[in-house]
Structure 1
Amino acid sequence: MTLKKNQIFANAFQLIDEFLNSQQTQLNVLEERTKYLKYEVRSIELTIKKGIEEQKGFEVLEKGFEVLEKRFETLEKRIDSLEQVNQEGVSRLSLMEDTLVGLKTLETQSNDREYQTQKIAEMLPHVIDKAKLSLESSNSFEATELVDSLQIPVELCIKQSISQDPHPFADTLFPVMGPAIRKAINETFKSLMQAINQTAEHSLSPQGLAWRLEARRKGLPFSEIVLEKTLIFRVEQVFLIHRESGLLIQHLHRQEVKLGDSDAISAMLTAIQDFIRDSFSESKTEELDSVEIGNYTVWLERGPYAVLACVIRGVAPYQLRNIMRSSLGVLIECVAK
């Protein structure tokens, strides 16, 4: 009995010991788990702390980003202003380039004498016209300034032009000076006729009395009858010749005159003129005004574009040359119109 109890107690103690061992094992496991949980809690706390720190870092980063955004906005505004300044600079540079190109052009033009001469030639008429208009409204003392400033250069130009080649100047003045010269010659011729008339009035010869009766019968001055009776002539042929080429433009003649080759005669007169000028003229500017051929005299009158040649038999009065000049002037005026 005692042995069974001991056996029971021994089994019971064994069970209790096993139970305690198992409990100890569980306690060890729990301790390890508790340690692990503490580690986990510590890890979680560290994680939470780290997260909090990271959150603070994120907040700092957010604030930093906000600052950066503001700085970027400021930079964008500055960039926009710089772009505007750049555009203004580009536009100013383009204007400066145009200005530099214009200055370069002006420099080139200022160094180009031919261009300057052309521009001055274009502007000079307008300047003179403007000066003339201003002078018309000013007093005579101011008006003489333009005349005095232009007088010497114009005189020198005219003198040099005449010394080099008087033909263009003479051709230009021909329509103006021709009538004045003819008028002066007519006045001189009238004076000559009056002198002849006074001389003839004192003549009591039978021929003088007959001429006086004829003048009274015809109703003409006595001097004209004296000239008609003493200066006997006749124009038999008239040639109008082109001055530059020597070609015949027109030929008139009396019906009873025997004609030769009019073109050949025109060429001959031009050839004679050229021969005389080349052989005997020092300045190469003298013109042939008459040619004696047997009983005939050829008078030549020159205009700017044509030559009038009259073939005369007898002694012609100088008044015929006035008639030739007048006729040639009328022809030139007709051609000019």
Structure 2
Amino acid sequence: MTESQKLILLKKLLLEEDRDFANSILQKLELLENTVNIEENLSQKINPIIDKKIEAFTEEVPRKLGPAITEALGFEIKNSQDKIVDVLFPIIGKMIKKYIQQEMKILTESINNQLQNTFSFKKISRKFKSIFSGASESEIILSELNKSKIEQIFIIEKGSGLLLSSTSNEGSIDRDMIAGMLTAIKSFVEDAFLKKDQNLELIQYELYNIHIQNFASYYIAVVVSGVFDTNFKNELEDSLFDFASKHINKNISNSAYITEKLKELIK
């Protein structure tokens, strides 16, 4: 092989290698161009990366920024209570109004159903009761739907406020504290009006009435839910007088015995 042939062969080999390298780069550029310019291809590459970053961000933010955000919100709420109330009051007001309207609708339907029950013995009894008591049938039905119920009874020593005995349908806070609080309220009201031989007989607390029956050395406080009308008050007073005569006066020092009897009274 001549020198000229050798040069031609070498040139051919070098050019083929450069040509292959150039074609490889061209293919990669075309692939990259297709990836960038075609949305579907680009999404396949980018979406997994974005999803991974979002997942990591979601996990990290509550852990790193959660305490700071909670503290900042607490500070803003504490220092902007009036503004928050102004914002929430109309919303809460509408919710309460809607709830009351719904409850009134249910109550009206219940009263109407009771009134339409023409063949009921209760209907006839209610009419006689309405005639003799002067109350309307609707008022009587309302009292039937919202029956009076004794929730708690406290027997408390006058003056000292010492709790002698008590019973309740449900658990409550410190009963000794309640006895002391009732005695303080009772003494304050009775002293404030400077009326001798006058005793506080009733305390109203939202949906509850606290009836106070006074005796010589102690008083009985009865927490009542539901309608607290004159009829129920009279019946309650009679029951308390009978109970005091049969159980308390004869066993004033026997707290366990009185408590057991109170459970029968509250049923």
Q: TM-score range by the shorter chain?
A: 0.3 to 0.5
Output the TM-score relative to the length of structure 2.
0.41
Q: Which structure's residues are more often helix, by fraction? A: 1
Look at both structures and tell me which one has the larger radius of gyration over its CA atoms: 1
